[in-house]
Structure 1
Amino acid sequence: MTKLEQRTAVADRPHTPPTPSTPRNLMTTVHAEHPLATFNLVSIEAWERFSFYGMQAILAFYLYYSVSEGGIGIDKSHATALIGAYGALVYLCTFAGGWVADRILGPERTLLIGAGLLVAGHLILSLAPHPVIGLALGLSLIAVGSGSLKTAAITILGAVYREDSHNARETGFQFFYLGIQIVAILGPLITGWLAQAYSFHHGFLAAAALMIIGMISYISLRRRMIDALDPDIRTTITQPANPINTTYAIFIFSCGTVIFSGVVTMAATGTIQPADLAFSLLIVTCLAALILLVVIIRSPKTTTVERRKVIAFLPLFFASACFWAIMNQTYGVLAVYSDIRLNRMLFGFEIPAAWTQSLNPFFVITFALLLTFLWAKLGSKNPQPTTKLSLGVMIASLSFFVFIPFAGGANNTTPFIIFAFAVWIAAIGELLCGPVGMAATAEHAPQAYRTQFSALFFLTMAIGTSLAGTISRFYDPENPQAEITYFLTCGISALIIGLITLIFGRILHQRLT
């Protein structure tokens, strides 16, 4: 990524040497297939994930540790449910972010505003004098900011590639995903150490600092990134695809603010319980996804060809939702498991429980390049995205079975290698679901709904996360039989869903192509 050549029409013309009037230098040039925008988007998303995973790695412990230990002291089942509700809110906000980008601001300005809200949320979470109010307001701003930034980033990244550049686009998303995994290793290590050595609030403040660095990095390259794009692509990422009038925008924004503020207030005052909040968000997210799909399919702005591509996306949607229900156990149930059940002693040093959350991204990075090489070698023989996602779900489901022989054991007795093996299995599944799902979402998106359709991928995360929070209430580490039943039920259910989406996807592919 050290050279920049004009894409689209320019890329299709015979190459001519650069002249003094068309300078090419390292600051403004990357590979012909991957514009500077790819680098800058990988950067801002990586910093956002750095702060996000760093904060989330210690969030569950902050919720259920006692006040004397620096936490808030709520019940473990409520803590895991709240983690699920928060994660669902993050990805549900991608829907709102997509709407704002498509109707009001355009993707690129939506990304910038989202970054600003993230900084504000992290600062409030780390510095607010009242822990409960700071938690509710800080997490809410982080959710809105993260949802807006993520939707805009994936939309812009999908837009800067030519329509026929399937392999280049998927490789670009692999870079995007790889950047996320690199910082997902470091985030929990930094905040986990700070939380254990100093306090949870030191860890939260570190997350705020990381996001500030990310915003500065993006802004420093923003103008060069935009100027390097072709005019039509520049318009796509800076202007709303389907703008609305100002009065309607103000009305929608006001209604959304009132509803959002009401939910935050109820959560802060305990009017609504975490498990009920997670389930409510699960229903809301499913309805949001259904409404969005119906609107896109029925819209006159969606062509016949685009409509068929949207229908073909349905199995990917279900497979992705199931996968994220598996993966988001990491921040709830598995966080509790690693804190209570796992033997974390290594050469006389007790590994902070938050550090176990760096295992998954470590394995993803280790095997990502190998898998990317495999897809490149297969070329036209590459499996369909639905096949990859379905297999990813089935592979990830096996990770639950690894825990069954150790369920109900004494505290701190599960060997670390066993936990790492289960995480490795899930990581292999993630490599078949995460980047492939992102790229497939961009590829199936109708032109008039590019940003909102990108939000569908994150709505699968919202459904999966809220589902993980909802079912986590059935996890009881103090009851051996309940723990065995939990892992067995989750594993079998995910395995069946993966098989169904695999069959359903192949049937649709045959009928729609």
Structure 2
Amino acid sequence: MWERFSFYGMQALLVYYLYFAIAEGGMGMDRAKATALVGAYGAALYLSAWAGGWVGDRLLGSEKTLLGGALLVTAGHLILSGIPGQMGLICGLGAIALGSGCVKTSAITVLGSEEDSSTGEANAQAGPAFQYFYLGINVGALLGPLLTGWLSKAYGFRVGFAAAAVLMIIGLGVYLGLRRRMLASFSPGIRARVEGPQLRLPSNRRWQWAAGILVAILVIIVAFQRGWVSVDRVSSGLLLITVLAAIWLFAQPLAHPAVSMEEKAAVRRFIPLFLCSTVFWMLQAQTYGVLAVFAQERTNRWVGDFEIPAAWAQSLNPLFILGCSVPLAFLWARLRGRAPQLRTTIGGGLILASTGLLLPAAFVHAEQAPLWVLPAAIFLISCGELFIGPGGMAATAHHAPRAFATRFSALYFLTLAIGMSLAGRISTYYDPESSAAELRYFLLVALIPMALGLITLLSAPSFRRRFLQTNPGVAAHGAG
């Protein structure tokens, strides 16, 4: 929870820190480049999750990777708060992205180790552990921006970043205090699984990889510092890398002889759902970039004599997720066998989220949008997330070939990486100072995903009929 608290607290400030004038404590960056960098940072974070998984499996083991990732995140926040200028920005964001990627994968692995090693089934502690983990993520995402947003408005960005660092230090202290007790509670088999790498590299290879990673980090820092790499190139490069990775993950099972024709057909059926999920995360990522700018520049945030900090808008999504997830789970439980198929929920969720961006479009000609517009827009996007987030994960698992189950699951995280990278790339066309450009941006970013969601929604019944005709033994929900 503390890691998410600090992470979302920092992310709520990032776009403002990048484009606010130097006299206001910011970096003085062009607004379009600032939103592009926010998207690139999000994509780099999800790509770092792969790197974190590799380090945990082959170099350090999941528990040490978790601890090392937390130390990196802490260092990143301290760098952002203590080192001004481009060097602090590059090193700070890089450390946070890499550290968060390590924490994201290794925390799930450590929690997932709480299973019965003889049966492979989760034991009684595993379910509550994941429930508390998910609750901690959302509580941290809700409270982090409230604290850092208020501190940055009252005392400046450095204090906001320092608060995020303090939160991480508290979390590290709690973890280190409980670490020995946690490891002692594991059975010998589980402890060996989390403390050491499962695919251990030879000692000389480990040193070679460590040296290579260090050299790569230094090269990246120097390239940014010397101006050899621009924000636009980074954004475009990450988008290209994530798209090529997705193509590769799709091509592998489609070309492999061990994958049956039925499984290859399932992979092809997953492609439209992958596109819908990717486009949704592009919409959701507008919250951290374009809608954050809209909150600052285009929204009347005054309530009496108090001006609400723009960064507080980042707390709306987790607030709505926490508030709506229980009623929605209750609804699915009541429906049981009558619950809509995946294509229906994903298509409907995409339409719902797209509608959220039409609300600010209606006020582009006003001097400022009313206070309710942004919460209403984020509410609709959050409702779409409740359909598409779990639906995307379920669709990925449902369509995965048996021989590629683990690697295929990486496609879900690629939808987030591509979506965030794409959001950063297209955000360069947003201009809050031109009502025509602002209207064009919101309409295009809303209507194209809405059309994709509508096509997916309308095609669901006919797809289901065709699937059941060719697979009569499969349950209706298996149509995906």
TM normalised by structure 2 equals 0.84
Please show how residues 169-318 of structure 1 align to structure 2 within 5 Å.
Answer: 176-226=133-183, 237-292=194-249, 294=251, 314-318=271-275
The one-letter code of the counterpart of 2:218 is: S
Cα drift, residue 470 of structure 1? 0.1
Aligned match of 1:324 in 277, 281, 304? 281
Matches within 5 A, 1:13-412: 46-128=1-83, 130-157=84-111, 160=114, 176-226=133-183, 237-292=194-249, 294=251, 314-385=271-342, 387-410=344-367
Q: Does 1:478 align with 2:456?
A: no
Tell me how far apart the structure 2 counterparts of residues 116 and 73 of structure 1 sit (CA, whole Å). 29
Query: Partners in 2 of 1:211 and 1:474 — Cα distance?
Result: 35
- Give the gaps of 5 or more residues in structure 1: 1-45
- Distance in structure 2 (CA, Å) of the matches to 1:117 and 1:335: 26
Is the Cα contact below 8 Å between 1:364 and 1:428 reproduced in 2?
Answer: yes
Distance in 2, Cα, partners of 1:386 & 1:116: 41
Per the alignment, in what secondary structure is the counterpart of residue 74 of structure 1? coil
Q: CA deviation at 1:173?
A: 5.8
- CA change 1:484–1:435 in 2 (3 A) is same
Secondary structure (helix, strand or coil) at the match of 1:204 reads: helix
1:443-458 alignment, distance < 5 Å: 455-458=410-413
| Cα distance, 1:409 vs structure 2 | 2.7
> Contact between 1:107 and 1:237, CA under 8 Å: does it hold in 2?
yes
SS of equivalent residue, structure 1 residue 416: coil
Deviates more, 1:303-312 or 1:170-179: 303-312
Shift of 1:193: 1.0
Identify the range of structure 1 (395-404 vs 239-248) with the bigger mean alpha-carbon deviation.
239-248
Which residue identity lines up with residue 104 of structure 2 in the other structure?
A: K
Amino acid at match of 1:179: G
Q: Which residue of 2 aligns with 1:30?
A: none
Return the alpha-carbon distance in structure 1 between the equivalents of residues 338 and 141 of structure 2.
Answer: 32
Deviates more, 1:319-328 or 1:194-203: 319-328
Alignment RMSD (CA, Å): 3.6
The Cα offsets for residues 114-135 of structure 1, whole Å up to 9 and x where unpaired, read as 111111111111112x421111
Q: Is the 8 A contact 2:66 2:102 kept in 1?
A: yes
Which string of whole-angstrom CA distances, capped at 9 and with x for unpartnered residues, describes residues 141-175 of structure 1? 0010011111223344456468778xx99997665
Partners of 2:344 and 2:460 within 8 A in 1: no
* Residue ranges of structure 2 left out of the alignment (5+ in a row): 475-480
Cα distance change on mapping 1:189 and 1:266 into 2, 3 Å: same
Task: Kindly provide the amino acid, as one letter, of the partner of residue 324 in structure 1.
Answer: W
Return the letter of the residue paired with 2:371: F
Give the Cα separation in 2 of the matches to 1:383 and 1:178: 26
Letter in structure 1 aligned against 2:374: F
| SS at structure 2 position matched to 1:406 | coil
Aligned length: 464
Question: In the alignment, residue 422 of structure 2 is paired with which amino acid?
Answer: L
Q: How far has the Cα of 1:78 moved from its partner?
A: 1.0
Do the aligned residues in 1 keep the contact of 2:151 with 2:159 (CA within 8 Å)? yes
**Paired residues of 2:45 and 2:101 also in contact (CA < 8 A):** yes
CA displacement at 1:267 relative to structure 2: 3.0
- The one-character-per-residue Cα deviations of 1:197-253 (angstroms, maximum 9, x if unpaired) are 111010001111111222333344445555556666656555545444344444444
Distance, in Å, in 1 between the alignment partners of 2:260 and 2:189 is 20
Q: Are the structure 2 counterparts of residues 376 and 414 from structure 1 closer, same or farther at C-alpha, using a change threshold of 3 Å?
A: same
Q: 2:442 matched to which residue of 1?
A: 487
Contact 2:25 2:156 in 1 (8 A): yes
Quick one: distance in 1 between partners of 2:340 and 2:130?
A: 17
Q: CA deviation at 1:96?
A: 1.2
Map 1:2-13; keep pairs closer than 5 Å: none
Contact between 1:111 and 1:153, CA under 8 Å: does it hold in 2?
yes
Distance in 1 between residues matched to 2:268 and 2:283, nearest whole Å: 25
Please tell me the residue identity of whatever aligns with 1:204.
F
Partner of 2:379: 424
**Quick one: distance in 2 between partners of 1:254 and 1:296?**
33
Question: 1:274: Cα distance to partner?
Answer: 1.7
Q: Is the 8 A contact 1:77 1:475 kept in 2?
A: yes
Alpha-carbon distance in structure 1 between the residues aligned to 2:349 and 2:42 = 21
Distance 1:292 1:432 in 2: 24
Query: Partners in 1 of 2:208 and 2:50 — Cα distance?
Result: 17
Higher mean C-alpha displacement, 385-394 vs 188-197: 385-394
SS at match of 2:3: helix
Letter in 1 for 2:37: L
Match of 1:8 in 2: none
- Does the 8 Å contact 1:54/1:188 carry over to 2? yes
Q: More deviation in 170-179 or 284-293?
A: 170-179
Identity of aligned residues (%): 46
Question: Could you say if the C-alpha distance between residues 301 and 88 of structure 1 is closer, same or farther in structure 2, counting changes exceeding 3 Å?
Answer: same
Q: 1:132 to 1:299 in 2, by over 3 A?
A: same
- 1:408–1:483 Cα contact (<8 Å) kept: no
Cα deviation, 1:269-316, whole Å, max 9, x if unaligned, reads 433322221111111122233334555777899999998887776555
Q: CA deviation at 1:99?
A: 2.1
Q: Determine the structure 1 residue equivalent to 2:388.
A: 433
SS at match of 1:91: helix
TM superposition shift of 1:359: 1.4
What secondary structure sits across from 1:218 in the alignment?
Answer: helix
Q: Residue by residue, what CA displacement relative to the aligned partner does 1:365-397 show, whole Å, maximum 9, x if unpaired? A: 111211222233344544455543343222111
Q: Deviations over 1:451-503 (max 9, x none)?
A: 76654433222111110100001111112111111111111221233345565
CA gap 1:364/1:397 in 2 versus in 1, 3 angstroms? same
